[in-house]
Structure 1
Amino acid sequence: MDAELTSFAQAAGTTLVTLMTTEAWQHARDSFTRMWQRWQPERAQDISRALDVSQEEVLRAHSADDQEMLGELRMQWVGYLRRLLLSDPEAIEDLRTLLSEFSPHADASAPSVTQHGTASGRARIYQAGRDMHINER
């Protein structure tokens, strides 16, 4: 169970840090704070402040394309979430529900991308749901 919990905390931490750069951030922040309030009320205020500080750091790192800092921030939140889940395993369902609320499939305004490609011979196909940079020489 510990490996599964760690894997779930990693996915949740990554999602949380990603949300910090989106328009959904304020709602996500409030939801994460409420989750901590339910499971560890004595830590909720500190977590709320940490979320605010982390979001500022994520935005700076994102604009500077500082992948190392973004990785450190993801790991920080993986740690917070893992400790929460280890001390209160029942919080897993709360966190699962919270994350599903912010998944791309839950957002009706998120564009849907479907791609199909067929190539034959020496043909090449390049597909992307967003930006793509190709440097052929």
Structure 2
Amino acid sequence: MASELAELAGLAASTVVTGMATAGWETVQQAMGELWRRVHPERADTVVAELGEARDEVLQARRNGAERAEQAERELVGEWQTRLRRLLAANPEMVPELQRLIDELRPIAREEEPRANSVTMTATASGRSRITMSGRDINITKG
């Protein structure tokens, strides 16, 4: 059970940290604040403020380059994973709430703003040319 809580907390932390640098940041902040208010209402405002500080760190690191951004984000994911794991260990009834939070925030995290190391591809084809470009996974079937 402990490893499952750690895995769930890690997924949630990654989703939250990734969502910090998106246009949906306010939704991330609000969802985490609500989660904490259910269990520790006296700490919720502090957690929300700390999320804001973490967001500032992520944005500053991204301005300083991809390598710094990746390091900062890894550190923040570790920090928030620990916090969320402790929250779940003390309040196992919050597992479904955290899963709901992940499901709610995952689309926001996918809207991540392009990083400095993003790739832009353009191509021009004429006649019977065929162009195949991929930034990631690709499946090609002849038809």
Please state which band the TM-score falls in when normalised by the shorter chain. Answer: 0.7 to 0.9
TM-score (norm 1): 0.75
| Paired residue type of 1:69 | A
Kindly tell me the number of residue pairs found equivalent between the two proteins.
113
Q: Within 5 Å, which residues of 2 pair with 1:56-75?
A: 56-64=56-64, 65=66, 66=68, 67-75=70-78
**Is the CA contact (8 Å cut-off) linking 1:62 and 1:70 kept in structure 2?**
no
Structure in which a larger fraction of residues adopt helix? 2
Equivalent position of 2:129 in the other structure: none
Equivalent position of 2:128 in the other structure: none
Q: Aligned equivalents of 2:105 and 2:75: distance in 1?
A: 22
- Partner secondary structure for residue 72 of structure 1: helix
TM-score (norm 2): 0.72
Higher relative contact order (CA 8 A, sep 6+): 2
Structure 1 position 83 matched with structure 2 position 81: no
**What is the CA RMSD across the aligned residues, in angstroms?**
2.2
Q: Within 5 Å, which residues of 2 pair with 1:1-137?
A: 1-64=1-64, 65=66, 66=68, 67-104=70-107, 127-128=134-135
**Is the CA contact (8 Å cut-off) linking 2:6 and 2:85 kept in structure 1?**
yes
Q: Aligned equivalents of 1:37 and 1:83: distance in 2?
A: 15
- Partner secondary structure for residue 42 of structure 2: coil
Q: Aligned equivalents of 1:57 and 1:71: distance in 2?
A: 12
User: What percent of counterpart residues are identical?
Assistant: 32
